[in-house]
């Protein structure tokens, strides 16, 4: 182990494992994007990770820019997180009864995000958004949900319309198995398009329960809200008696210490004369579980208290508030201090800057997209910053394919899709950044062809 993947490293063992998995697991994977469908080639089976590095089944080491799709904020197998998980596990894997750490995690999140007054823990981001939507419908008595094209909120039926990411990778508009009746409850609108939102409210305002939006879109590549959009969206919804669900599953405690809501900060205060606006409900996942299955829905106390057992909106979970997952999440958040975020920001700046120079050097047209410490790279000519899904879908994914494989061959693990954010961790020190930077010129030349 520890062999840095040089050009032409062996992938024999990964290929054997993929063939074996393919005989018993649909597509050989338990989440579609892992299958390398859009980039081609053999998916690497990973067997260990430490800090900024992961190792595959053939013993090749990669500098990682996936970070488990976000949760590994501190890097893989952070010693404090592993110790906390071990000691929680030794006390029992879960009891189906309340444990002290549940309120501790809720307090930690509430202290970072003032818009959260109460929090309920679930196990996945999908459950968090499902619960937020049920709450919004329960609170307003209205049926419709507005979502934006290219935003991903998990795989529940009503949310799979134009959902970016995995669907974009596979070029699917939605999913089979979703009834027309369910799909008709979701209005899909272009992102960053206030007139379209106003028109929807003019036509359906009385029937819209909520708008759900990623705090900054990061599942069609990174695409932040335009200045003022989030504030206007919240004001518009509230004028019509609808709620806003801000989905921070990906951005939460990653785009910055208080998520993307914290990055927006003053913007939500508008010109300073009015009251700041706030989303009504927020969803969290990924980083809050520190790598184990844990997610959360939070928001205004009067809304959250509509949940059972206090109120009429039902929600439950055998594994909710699992003590081992809580240990990973709490320890991760407690170590996610100012130093960790400034390390992540510095590494993101260095990598994003180096990607851009390498691509410029090879004459590859591109755009680096940023939202807080999140970034991604769009390949192709973009005269202006893209505003929504229709524009980013025009990117040259064949270039990403070549770029991705050239990076992988040189020992850098990028997301296997052009529609994903690149995830940096607090363990990306100068040595890790240097390994990534060294691989870029070759990958840029591959993308130029
Ligand atoms: N919301 C957003 C913004 C996400 O990025 C994701 C997952 O990538 C989800 C919801 C769904 O979370 P999970 O995969 O844990 O169900």
What residue ranges in 215-357 does DSSP mark as E strands?
Answer: 243-248, 281-284, 295-299
Report the candidate in 87, 86, 68 with the shortest Cα–Cα distance to residue 76: 68
What is the topology classification, in CATH, of domain 81-335? 3.40.640
Report the candidate in 10, 66, 4 with the shortest Cα–Cα distance to residue 36: 66
Quick one: average pLDDT of 247-274? 88
Cβ-based neighbour number of residue 40 at 10 Å: 10
Instruction: Check if 214 has its Cβ closer than 6 Å to any atom of ligand 1.
Output: yes
Instruction: Check if 420 has its Cβ closer than 6 Å to any atom of ligand 1.
Output: no
CA–CA separation, 44 and 56 (whole Å): 6
CA–CA separation, 337 and 235 (whole Å): 32
Q: Is 286 one of the catalytic residues?
A: yes
Cβ-based neighbour number of residue 178 at 10 Å: 16
pLDDT digits (tens, 9 = 90+) for 111-129: 999 999 999 999 999 999 9
**In Å, what is the CA distance from 273 to each residue of 157, 249, 269?**
41, 31, 8
Please tell me the least confidently modeled range out of 84-93, 272-281, 329-338. 272-281
Q: Ligand 1 atom 10: the closest Cα is on which residue?
A: 153
Instruction: Spot the catalytic one: 64, 286, 341, 409.
Output: 286
Burial of 183 (0-12, 13-18, 19+ CB in 10 A): middle
| Residue 11: per-residue pLDDT | 94
- What is the CA(67)–ligand 1 centre distance, in A? 14
pLDDT digits (tens, 9 = 90+) for 155-207: 998 888 666 666 655 555 578 888 888 888 999 999 999 999 999 999 999 99
Instruction: Check if 419 has its Cβ closer than 6 Å to any atom of ligand 1.
Output: no
Q: Is 266 one of the catalytic residues?
A: no
| Residue 173: per-residue pLDDT | 59
| Residue 166: per-residue pLDDT | 65
3-state secondary structure of 303: helix
Quick one: average pLDDT of 232-242? 97
What is the topology classification, in CATH, of domain 3-64+337-448? 3.90.1150
Mutate to test the pocket of ligand 1, among 252, 286, 329, 419 (most ligand atoms within 8 A of CB): 286
3-state secondary structure of 375: strand
Quick one: average pLDDT of 274-289? 93
Indicate the domain borders of the chain. 3-64+337-448, 81-335
| Residue 1: per-residue pLDDT | 38
Instruction: Check if 422 has its Cβ closer than 6 Å to any atom of ligand 1.
Output: no
Mutate to test the pocket of ligand 1, among 71, 153, 246, 290 (most ligand atoms within 8 A of CB): 153
3-64+337-448 against 81-335: fold identical: no
Instruction: Spot the catalytic one: 56, 58, 62, 152.
Output: 152
**Torsion sign across C-alpha atoms 265, 271, 274, 279:** negative
- What is the CA(139)–ligand 1 centre distance, in A? 23
Q: How many CA atoms lie within 13 Å of 302's alpha carbon, on the beta-carbon side?
A: 4
Instruction: Check if 219 has its Cβ closer than 6 Å to any atom of ligand 1.
Output: yes
Q: Residue 154 CA: which ligand 1 atom is closest?
A: 11
- What is the CA(250)–ligand 1 centre distance, in A? 6
pTM above 0.90, yes or no: yes
- What is the CA(147)–ligand 1 centre distance, in A? 14
Q: Ligand 1 atom 5: the closest Cα is on which residue?
A: 250
* Residue with token string 């949760």: 71
Percent of the chain with pLDDT over 70: 94
- What is the CA(152)–ligand 1 centre distance, in A? 7
- What is the CA(5)–ligand 1 centre distance, in A? 30
Ramachandran region, residue 8 (left: φ > 0; alpha: ψ -120 to 50; beta: rest): left
Instruction: Spot the catalytic one: 56, 58, 247, 280.
Output: 247
| Contacts with 165 (C-beta within 8 Å, 6 or more apart), sequence order | 33, 152, 219, 220, 417, 419, 420
- What is the CA(153)–ligand 1 centre distance, in A? 5
Q: How many CA atoms lie within 13 Å of 158's alpha carbon, on the beta-carbon side?
A: 22
Q: Ligand 1 atom 7: the closest Cα is on which residue?
A: 154
pLDDT digits (tens, 9 = 90+) for 362-393: 999 999 999 999 999 999 999 899 999 999 99
With a cut of 80, say whether residue 301 has pLDDT above it. yes
Q: Is 62 one of the catalytic residues?
A: no
């Amino acid at each position: 182990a520890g062999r840095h993947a040089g050009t032409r490293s062996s992938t024999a063992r990964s290929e054997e494992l993929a063939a074996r998995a393919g005989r018993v697991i649909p597509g050989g994977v338990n989440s579609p994007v892992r299958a390398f469908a859009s980039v081609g080639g053999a998916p690497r089976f990973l067997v260990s990770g430490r800090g900024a590095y992961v190792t595959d089944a053939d013993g090749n080491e990669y500098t990682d820019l996936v970070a488990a799709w976000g949760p590994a904020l501190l890097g893989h197998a952070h010693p404090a997180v592993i110790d906390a998980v071990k000691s929680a596990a030794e006390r029992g894997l879960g009891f189906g009864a309340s444990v002290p750490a549940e309120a501790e995690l809720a307090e930690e999140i509430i202290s970072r995000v003032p818009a959260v007054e109460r929090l309920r823990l679930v196990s996945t981001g999908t459950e968090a958004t499902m619960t937020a939507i049920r709450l919004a419908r329960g609170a307003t008595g209205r049926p419709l949900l507005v979502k934006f094209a290219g935003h991903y909120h998990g795989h529940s039926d009503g949310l799979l319309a134009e959902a970016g990411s995995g669907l974009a990778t596979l070029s699917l508009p939605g999913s089979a198995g979703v009834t027309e009746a369910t799909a008709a409850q979701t209005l899909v609108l272009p992102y960053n398009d206030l007139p379209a939102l106003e028109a929807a409210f003019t036509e359906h305002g009385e029937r819209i329960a909520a708008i759900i939006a990623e705090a900054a879109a990061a599942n069609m590549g990174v695409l932040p809200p335009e200045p003022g959009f989030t504030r206007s969206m919240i004001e518009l919804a509230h004028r019509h008696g609808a709620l806003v669900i801000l989905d921070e599953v990906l951005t939460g405690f990653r785009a910055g210490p208080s998520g993307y809501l914290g990055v927006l900060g003053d913007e939500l205060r508008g010109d300073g004369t009015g009251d700041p606006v706030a989303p009504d409900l927020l969803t969290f996942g990924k980083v809050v579980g520190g790598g184990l299955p844990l997610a959360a829905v939070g928001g205004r106390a009067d809304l959250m208290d509509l949940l059972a057992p206090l109120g009429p909106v039902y929600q439950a979970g055998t594994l909710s508030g699992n003590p081992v997952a809580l240990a990973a999440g709490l320890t991760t958040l407690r170590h996610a201090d100012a130093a960790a975020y400034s390390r992540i920001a510095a590494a993101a700046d260095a990598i994003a800057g180096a990607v851009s120079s390498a691509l410029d050097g090879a004459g590859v047209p591109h755009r680096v997209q940023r939202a807080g410490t999140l970034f991604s790279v769009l390949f192709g000519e973009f005269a202006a910053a893209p505003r929504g899904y229709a524009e980013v879908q025009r990117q040259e994914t064949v270039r990403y394919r070549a770029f991705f494989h050239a990076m992988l061959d040189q020992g850098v693990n990028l997301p296997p899709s052009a529609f994903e954010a690149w995830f940096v961790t607090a363990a990306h020190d100068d040595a890790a950044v240097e390994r990534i930077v060294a691989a870029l010129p070759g990958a840029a030349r591959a993308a130029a062809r």
